[in-house]
Amino acid sequence: MPMPHVYILYSATKNKFYVGCTSDDLEERIRKHNSNHKGFTGNINDWGLKYSEVFELKADAFAREREIKKWKSRKKIEELIRAK
């Protein structure tokens, strides 16, 4: 069974980051982001994984996702990625 992940994707087309969380297989989740669907990532198919963290508990992964999203700071996200 896949472990919960927090992940950060980047699209060069949009020049934006996307922060997400999944309990599914991470590679499959990224594939879904790059498929045509409604939503923030749906109309672009160049989303690439820049960062991920693995958690034992889903609740911890969701808490970390919320923490990163609350930053509302591209600079802090870029620093997190660089520190990897």
Which pTM value belongs to this model?
0.94
Structural domain boundaries in the chain:
5-83
* Architecture of the domain spanning 5-83: 3-Layer(aba) Sandwich (3.40)
What local confidence, expressed as pLDDT, does residue 2 receive?
Answer: 85
H helical segments located in the chain: 26-33, 58-71, 74-83
Q: What is the pLDDT of residues 59-75, one digit of tens each?
A: 999 999 999 999 999 99
Asked whether residue 1 carries a pLDDT value surpassing 80, the answer given is no
Q: What percent of the chain has pLDDT over 90?
A: 89
pLDDT 10s digits, 25-44: 999 999 999 998 888 999 99
Mean pLDDT to the nearest integer, 14-25: 96
Dihedral sign of CA atoms 62, 83, 81, 78 in order: positive
